[in-house]
Amino acid sequence: MAANLDHLAQLLQATLDPRHHRKAETALKEEAKKPKYSLSLLSIVANEAQPSNIRLAAALAFKNFIRHNYVDEEGNYKLPQDEVATIKQELVGLMISSPPTIQTQLGEAISIIADSDFWERWDTLTQDLVSRLSTTDPKVTNGVLEVAHSIFARWRPLFSSNALNIEVNHVVNTFGDSFIQMLGVADQQIEANKTNEKALKGWLETMSLLTRIFFDLSCQDLPPIIETNLQPITMVLHKYLSYANPLFDDEEDEATPIEILKSDICDALHLYVTKYDDDFGGYVQEFTSNVWNVLSSVGPQKRYDVLVSKALHFLTAVASVHRHAQIFNNEEILGTIVEKVILPNVTLRESDIELFEDEPIEFIRRDLEGSDTDSRRKAATDFLRKLLDDFEALVTQVVSKYINHYLEAGKTDWKAKDTAVYLFLAIAAKGAVTAAQGVKTVNSFVNVIDFFQQHIAADLVATGGEPIPKVDAIKFLYNFRSQLSKEQWAGAINPLIQNLASPNYVVYTYAATTLERVLFLTDDQGQHILSRADIQPYAKDLLQHLFALVEKDTSAAKLQENEFLMRCIMRVLIVIKDGVLECDIDNILDHLINITNVIKENPSNPRFYYFHFEAIGAIVRYCSNAPQVNLLSRLWAPFTYILNEDVTEFVPYVFQIFTQLLDLNKSGSIPGDFKALIDAVLAPGPWETRGNIPPLAKFIAAIIPKATEEIVKENKLEPILSIFQSLLNGKKTDQNAFDILESVVCSFPASVLEPYFGTILTLIFTKLQKSPSDSYKTRVASFYHLVSARSGEAGLGADYFIKHAETIQSGVFTPFYLQVIIPTTREFARPSDRKLAVISYSKTLVDSKAFAERYMKGWGFTCNALLELLKNPPKVSAGAGDEILNEADVDDIGFGIGFTPLSTCKRPPRDEFPEITDVQQWVRDFLKASDKAHNGLITKYASERLNDEAKAVLAPYLM
């Protein structure tokens, strides 16, 4: 056992070394298959003799193992019961005794376990936590409260439900009294240890954790024990909003426990004023005064940044409640707010300028919309805009005086000019500043274009001088991009591009970001403000310059640091489409392949490499069949290296691009290089990574029609269908299963499918009996129509489906058709699905012997369903054209984890009958010709099996 732990510790240490981490992670995957792997990791975490970085790596590995291996999609344990029991028995105590960094990882693991087990399968946990609370040892108590918070915080984003309310009530009933008692204990201990820095810090952290748990317990509903004790709780909150202690006065940069506690209190106050105003409204005015005093007393030091932000969030919440907002409806009060709160928090500080100069990428990320939720500037702006919502004219009048004052001072002081511009940005925008379009609605009392021309434009074109005024000018265009007309942008685009040549990192990055967003921008009709023709003349030089900026530093970490530049490259390539052929495409591919080869060694910025692969995807999308370039041969070596070395972060992107290359390949056969991949994708290894499943399924679906001969000859259809079966059994992968199955059905004749089709239907029907989702039923109905529509040469059709269904169980087809197919088809939303259903129903009426002779009522139901679809005949657009491509939301919480689809590689919905463009006319021609060929049999069936209304609707299709 000890030798195994030593080996495991060595592997964990190797994962921390960029030179060996890939091989070490592969080896750890093998170790994870061994019994009690999770307990071995916990043993390393608990071993204080191990270096702290290895213990932390073990905690992280444990958390990730639990995330993927604790329970299956149905909530059943994947680990042995004794291992589960030991984990629960050891984990809480281990977390309590661990250092803070390890506590964080173990806390997340506990939260994952709680998602499946708490509270019914872990009903002793809350009482266990209560029993471990200490009134004398803050380290033990804080460990207990960290565990509690990691579990209770899960409730915050959830919608209310009976099950959730039962869980919360269980916790409140078990934990509530101890929570109230510990508030008193922490308060007394803070007072008793006011001169003992170490103990005081511990008990202040206790009060912080109790405040967070106060938020947790209240996030769904107001618990009775909180409601009963609300008055004494508010007294504690008041006390610590005003609390000070000279022991922490010397700190400049890092928030002390006092600021952290006050920030947590502001969070809780925000919740209560927003959610429980009826109960809490009487306390709001006094807390508003307290928070105002906090804001007035703190300095510009970085230690106060989060506190100021949280305090301003609370004031913003107060201003959002109409009856409380009236306290701000006064010119003198608003002037004081601007002077005492807004100006100190929007004015550039020395620390901001240091960040601008020393860590420019961090400055940019904090400053851009949606990237700086805890910044003073953002919080002050949100507060001011909330006041503007209620008192637009008055707030504009008050703030404009300060804007004019700082503009005047700005003639000789660029910092004052920066303050003026920021104040104008704050009051000129109304509503949300969206990532897609910037400011859509502006304050009716200001003129954005006039302000730009009078005060900003000169900085945009100025040479030399301070860089921040230039950044302000570019950011003005960035924020108000929707307010400029196409003509105005035509004049602004050249100076914007020229700023890409600035030697200043922030200036050229802002220029790239603004250019990218403008190229993305569309008008109300969905047309791009700047078209391909507008950007094509600049494209070649622009791309070369952007690549030069990206590749300034060739180390993997620095090269992928600036995602904004790569996003701009991606956008230019998307906009110019095959215009890239005029921009030395081989050179552009050289850059993209070189970047791939560098960053594959250590992928560290998910946003950067997402945009990077979108850029490659854009070239594939628009140039794959261009004779000037052989994309497959250029991309094959770097991409197969990624697959062979299992660069986990990149594999899903590679398969998406390979799928796009296959889809766009006009030959009917598989390109030679791809043959080597068939065996690889049929092996179990790649499917073990969840993020690989969607792109792998689509890759197999794309390769099947081009490799039918090889698949049949080499007996590979059965392994393909085994993958289908495995995916069908998963809740989250059944849609991917149908991607493969539909490709199989479209590629092979009935004779090849014959041995397998009964088993396929058995699997589908079995899952239909287990409370299937609507999306599952939609794919089942679509699959049925695909089989039904492929009568004739393919040898499939409704009768083929019925024959195999009835072999499974006599009489099973009737309820399947009436309870699944017809009602689900009625709900089809995609035009391609509705078109397929029209063809399927039409061929059933004509070609199906079973419907003609056995299911006579079913023939009538089918005809009625067809006529219902034809009331609004589906129109399917062809392929990938000039549609706007939206890249993934890079701020989404799951971004960079698992599977992120590439917009440039998005497959259009399957259309197996592209030659049918006018569905209604096709039905008319098909039914009319078939009726004639069968000597009026369709007309005869219609007269016998339809009511008069349906006959009248069908008649034009037979004449």
- Reported as a single tens digit per residue, the pLDDT across 308-366 is 999 999 999 999 999 999 999 999 999 999 999 999 999 999 999 999 999 999 999 98
- Reported as a single tens digit per residue, the pLDDT across 8-32 is 999 999 999 888 888 898 899 999 9
119 cis-preceded (ω within 30 degrees of 0): yes
Residue 143 has pLDDT above 90, yes or no: yes
Residue 470 has pLDDT above 50, yes or no: yes
Predicted confidence at residue 250, as pLDDT, reads 87
- For residue 119, the one-letter residue type is W
Contact 369, 433 (CB under 8 A): yes
Contact 919, 838 (CB under 8 A): yes
Give the residue among 196, 176, 102, 185 at the shortest CA–CA distance from 143.
102
126: helix, strand or coil: helix
Average pLDDT, the chain: 94
Give the residue among 610, 593, 636 at the shortest CA–CA distance from 892.
610
Contact 888, 656 (CB under 8 A): no
Residue 672 has pLDDT above 90, yes or no: no
Tokens of 456: 């900003």
CA distance 39 to 36: 5
CA distance 617 to 659: 10
Residue 865 has pLDDT above 70, yes or no: yes
CA distance 572 to 592: 14
Predicted confidence at residue 846, as pLDDT, reads 96
Please state the rounded mean pLDDT for residues 180-187: 98
User: Contacts by 356-364 with C-beta closer than 8 Å and gap 24+?
Assistant: 356/467, 356/468, 356/506, 360/505, 360/506, 360/509, 361/505, 361/509, 361/561, 361/562, 363/506, 364/506, 364/509, 364/510, 364/513, 364/564
Predicted confidence at residue 893, as pLDDT, reads 35
Residue 841 has pLDDT above 90, yes or no: yes
- Reported as a single tens digit per residue, the pLDDT across 359-388 is 999 999 988 855 545 689 999 999 999 999
442: helix, strand or coil: strand
CA distance 602 to 608: 12
- Supply the DSSP string of 348-373, one letter for each residue: PPHHHHHHHHH-HHHHHHHHSTTS-T
- Cβ neighbour number for residue 323 with a 10 Å cutoff: 9
Residue 504 has pLDDT above 80, yes or no: yes
Please state the rounded mean pLDDT for residues 879-902: 58
Predicted confidence at residue 910, as pLDDT, reads 83
Q: Which of 177-186, 265-274, 370-379, 909-918 has the lowest mean pLDDT?
A: 370-379
Chain centre to alpha carbon of residue 861: 43
With cut-offs at 50, 70 and 90, classify the pLDDT of residue 894. Answer: very low
- Reported as a single tens digit per residue, the pLDDT across 73-90 is 889 999 999 999 999 999
Contact 776, 783 (CB under 8 A): no
Determine what percent of the chain is predicted with pLDDT higher than 90.
88
CA distance 129 to 806: 58
Predicted confidence at residue 52, as pLDDT, reads 95
Give one word for 646, left, alpha or beta, with left for phi > 0 and alpha for psi -120 to 50.
left
Where do the H-state alpha helices sit in 790-830? 798-808, 813-816, 822-826
Predicted confidence at residue 891, as pLDDT, reads 44
Q: 798: number of CA atoms within 13 Å, CB side?
A: 26
Predicted confidence at residue 897, as pLDDT, reads 54
